[in-house]
Amino acid sequence: MTAVGIDAMEIWTGKLKLDLAETFAAEKGEDPEKYTKGLGLFASSFPDAHEDIVTMGANAAHRLMERKGLTPADIGRIDVATESAFDNSKPVSTYIAGCLEQVYEEDFHHANKGERKFACIAGTQSLDDAYNWIRAGRNRGRSALVVATDTALYARGDPGEATQGAGAVAMLVTEDPDLVELSTEQGYGSADETDFLKPNQQFPSVDGKRSMQVYLARMREALEDFESVAGDTHPDDFAFIPYHTPFPGMVRKAGLLGYRHMIRGTEVEDELADEIGRQPREEEFDDRESYEEAIRGYMDDLKSTDQYREWYAEVVEPTLSISREVGNWYTGSVHIARAAALQYAAEEDRDVTGDRLLVGSYGSGAQAEIHAETIQEGWREEVDALNVDEQIRNRYDISFEEYEQVHDRHNHDKSVELAAFTEPDGEFVFAGRGAMDERTYDYVE
């Protein structure tokens, strides 16, 4: 069976930076460690006045196509995943295709275009769609372009305000990929939830505590479902485990839950038994409440063990380096976690060819997906081509007053004129609105 997966990816971060410790915490009169240690975030990225989900997605896609020497004739479908869409009918993929047609002689009239929505998991669902399209033999030798692009804004003063972020990830899905092969096995955990939603509104309504509970519950279900088709998992099976990362503090909880599940009934649990005992089994308790209390106690002990700390530092922590600097990108979040992990492997000069990733995607509302990916021979060249670290370094550092202006500029309910803080250079920019209030875009050399 021919391998299908991600051949290459590109990342485009919003050009503005809000420093959470120096700027946000200072304005709020709060301890900076509330953000740097509690949430695990150092900064948030924001789009400049001439940026939005279309320009960020188109710029990432353009850079990807140029680097891979592609033309529109090579692309058979364009799927955009976003929960920041501004039109209930016209998909963002058509806008992105229109941008790209400004710089190529050919057009994308032959390409299937669509838009996926299921909160943050839509980026992975779009990968699944592209994978299935190729597997079905309907691609006619063409590749799929998957773009996850979002501007994650919260109402000012909302508890989620510090987790905001903006950026795009473009991924090329092909046969015989250079970066990662996607597994045929998947696991799902899904339920009708109201942990985070936007009923005809831009800013989300969030039940923070409930959202974390739902995230962990659906991840557990997805892992169990994945194991039902792929077999039991073990902590040593995977080089890295990229999770959906609304903020790194959430991943700390997911990592501990996953580790406890994977060591259950293994030699690792046996080795830890003398130190913290064995995991509680539900059949040993008279009621569910007592069992759950015992599980919480076990997990508190587990997270303090050297075995767990070493595993987390090697397998999960490296996936968080980009997210710490840019915040939550919704649909792109888990995909920048993958990129961060592979960047770390390259920096540490680790040859991870043939090693596997266990990717945990999640979308509120709610659904989780677990699948495995096998790292391909061309991974290092692809990772070396990324310039996300340079983009992060070159962002314009906004003051709190400027942040408030930027926030209003990208609020769909307001019409705010704001001069750009950065100079466009070889990129697509928002140019204004047309006769039907549609957004228009230009390419700036």
Would you state the structure tokens that stand for residue 161, as one six-digit string?
A: 């305000």
Would you state the structure tokens that stand for residue 63, as one six-digit string?
A: 């850079």
Catalytic residue among 62, 99, 115, 120: 120
Does 99 participate in catalysis according to the annotation?
A: no
Catalytic residue among 10, 51, 62, 83: 83
Catalytic residue among 50, 244, 371, 407: 244
Would you state the structure tokens that stand for residue 138, as one six-digit string?
A: 């309907």
Does 83 participate in catalysis according to the annotation?
A: yes
Q: Can you tell me the distance from the alpha carbon of 238 to that of 206, in angstroms, rounded to the nearest whole number? A: 33
Residue 142: partners with Cβ closer than 8 Å, 6 or more residues away: 73, 74, 75, 76, 77
Would you state the structure tokens that stand for residue 375, as one six-digit string?
A: 């790292």
Cis peptide before 119 (omega within 30 of 0): no
SS (H, E, C) 125-150: HHHHHHHHHHHCCCCCCCEEEEEEEE
Specify which residues 429 forms β-bridges with.
442
Does 412 participate in catalysis according to the annotation?
A: no
Alpha helices by DSSP H, 277-420 = 288-302, 306-315, 321-326, 333-347, 379-384, 388-393, 400-409
Q: Can you tell me the distance from the alpha carbon of 92 to that of 429, in angstroms, rounded to the nearest whole number? A: 15
What are the catalytic residues?
A: 83, 120, 244
